[in-house]
Amino acid sequence: MEKRIRVVMIGADRRVHGGVSAVVNNYYQAGLNDKVGLIYIGTMIDGSKGRKLLKAMMAFFHFLLVLPWMQILHVNMAADASFYRKQVFIKTAVRFNKRIVIHEHGGDFNGFYYERSGVAAQKGIRATLNMADRFIVLSKQWADFFRPLVSEEKLMVLENAIAIPPEGKRDHTGQAILFLGRLCREKGIGELLSAMPLLVESLPEVRLYLGGVWEDNVLAEQAKALGDLVTWLGWIDDDEKKRWMEECSIFVLPSYFEGQPVSLLEAMAAGMAVVSTAVGGIPQIIESGINGLLVEPGAVPSLTDGLKRLLLDEQLRENYGRAARERIIKDYDMAHRVEELVKIYERLKGEGNE
C-alpha cells in the first residue's frame, strides 16, 4: 500500500482568534490528518510583539526540522505581515525543491498590494506568489483579482467550508442580532453601533450581541455607552456559539473587505437570517433577497434599512434562514472540501520528483 502524502501546513496557531485557525480546525475535524501525513506548524499567536516574534522563530526552527521529510508545503496566507512572515518559509521550501500550495485567505490583499506596496515591493510579491505550484483563492471574485499577478495555470478556487449541524433554527421570533468576529472598524462595527439607536426608535426590543475581542478602544467605549442595547460576549467557544445562534434571529457581518468568512457560513448553516456586505467572496454565497441581504459597506443607512427589514418580518427571517441553510448544505460541506484538497495534493505529488 502506498504511503500517505506528507504535507507540512503553516498558518496562524490553531488557538488564535481568527478565520485561518477556524479553517484549519475544520480541516482537522473533517479528518484531513487521517487522509494525509499532516504536520501543522503555527507561525503566529495572539499577544505582544515579543511573544509573536518568539513564536515565529520557534515555528521556523520546527519547519527546518521537518521540511526534508515532507513532499508538499501548504501555506495559509493573508496580507501585510502574514505575507512577509510566510515568504521566508516559501523561499526555503523552494531551495529544498518541495511542491508548494499557497492558500490566500486575506480579505484586503488588494489594499496591501496596490496601496501599501511600492513598485519594487509589488515585484517581490508577484515573484513570491508565483513560487507556488498551486495558488488557491476563496472565490471567483478573488481569482479575477489575482489573475494579473499569478500564472493562470497555477490559479484555482477552493471555497471555505464547515461541518454542518444536523438541524437548523426553529425559533425566529426574537429581535436579537448577533455579530461574531474581530471587533474593529474594518468589520463595520462603527456602522453597526451607529445603526442601533436608529433601530431602537421603532423596535424597542432590538438588542445586539457582539462575540469577539476588541481591537479598537474607541469602539469599545462607543458600545459601552449604548448600555443594555449592546452586550459584549467576549470570545466565545463552539458550544457558546451554537447557543447564541439559537438565541438570536439575525446574523450581521458588515465588513469593508473579506476573503470568505467562516462565521458567515456557520450562521447560514445554523439557519439564521443574515445581513452582510457585497465584498470579497460573500456575493458568491449570499443571493440578496433569496437567502439573505447584502448591504453597502461603510453605509449606516443601508445597514440600518437591511436590519430593519428583517426585524419587522418574522416570516422573512424564517424564509431567509431556511434558504441560507440549504445553500450551505448544497455547496459548503467540509467533508467534500477535504476530498478536493487531497486531490490537489495527489496531483502535485504526481508532478513532483518523489
Tell me whether residue 167 is in a domain.
Answer: no
* Same-domain status, 48 and 188: no
Distance CA 270, CA 321 (A): 8
pLDDT digits (tens, 9 = 90+) for 297-347: 999 999 999 999 999 999 999 999 999 999 999 999 999 999 999 999 999
Which residues of the chain fall below pLDDT 50?
1, 354
Residues facing residue 273 across a β-bridge:
250
How far is 175 from 134, CA to CA, in rounded Å? 45
* 35 touches 4 (CB < 8 A): yes
As a whole number of angstroms, the distance between CA 247 and CA 175 comes to 10
Q: Are 74 and 196 part of one and the same domain?
A: no
147 and 88 in a single domain? The answer is yes
Q: Are 64 and 97 in contact (CB under 8 A)?
A: no
Residues 134 and 198 in one domain: no
Q: How many angstroms separate the Cα of 183 from the Cα of each of 21, 175, 277, 343?
A: 17, 21, 16, 36
> Are residue 217 and residue 273 in the same domain, yes or no?
yes
Q: Per the domain annotation, does 169 fall within a domain?
A: no
Same domain, 58 and 80: yes
Q: What is the pLDDT of residue 17?
A: 83
Domain that holds residue 188: 176-331
The answer on 280 and 187 residing in a single domain is yes
- Give yes or no: residues 156 and 31 share one domain: yes
The answer to whether 157 touches 137, Cβ cutoff 8 Å, is: yes
Looking at the fold, whether 326 and 339 belong to one and the same domain comes out as no
Quote the cell numbers at residue 28: 482537522
Residues 226 and 291 in one domain: yes
Q: Please check whether residue 1 lies inside any domain of the structure.
A: no
* CATH code, domain carrying 121: 3.40.50.2000
CA distance 35 to 21: 19
CA distance 214 to 314: 31
Which residue, among 145, 46, 125, has the nearest Cα to 80 in the 3D structure?
A: 125
A 10 A CB-CB count for 354 gives: 11
Q: Who's near 172: CB < 8 A, 6+ residues apart? A: 249, 273, 314, 317, 318, 321
Number of domains forming the structure of the chain:
2
pLDDT value of residue 354 = 46
Q: Per the domain annotation, does 139 fall within a domain?
A: yes
